[in-house]
Structure 1
């Protein structure tokens, strides 16, 4: 029911990249997780499950949270070196 095709996983770094662009344009860093969630939900609605709002929202939340986690883990690796 809530399938995410392999090509949908590509949305995670795209969301991350869009958030980074927002930060470089002056968006405060504290809003990054919220923006990631919003972009994830929008991607879920527009791209992953345009015909099922509940599934799109659930998958979108997962995409947004995954983008936040990807950024956070990368940041932690860089800071520890």
Structure 2
């Protein structure tokens, strides 16, 4: 079962995606990397006994991390339109 303290996995996924960015991975695929990492974490760590729940929770973690990453990036870089 997903516990509230499992939300700390989101910044972990953001950090790993940032490492991918630092080594030169194309920025367009970073959200997909975030989603895949989230699903892997969800299946392996959060809901190891229930594949469907692990995929669902993992997708939520990955998509949340992707949104957190892009939101933080927009705040830091600013929106100069």
TM superposition score normalised by structure 2: 0.90
Q: Output the CA distance in 2 between the equivalents of 1:7 and 1:51.
A: 19
Give the corresponding residue for 1:67. 65
Flag structure 1 segments of 5+ consecutive residues without an equivalent.
Answer: none
Distance 1:10 1:54 in 2: 21
How far residue 13 of structure 1 moved from its aligned partner, in angstroms, is 0.5
Distance 1:80 1:22 in 2: 22
Matched pairs, number: 79
Q: Which runs of 4+ in 1 moved over 4 A?
A: none
Provide TM-score, normalisation by structure 1. Answer: 0.90
Residue in structure 2 matched with residue 18 of structure 1 by the alignment: 16
Q: What CA RMSD, in Å, does the superposition of the two structures yield over aligned residues? A: 1.3
Distance of 2:36 and 2:51 partners within structure 1:
14
Distance in structure 2 (CA, Å) of the matches to 1:72 and 1:22: 15
Deviations 1:4-34 (A, max 9, x none): 2122111100000001101111211111000
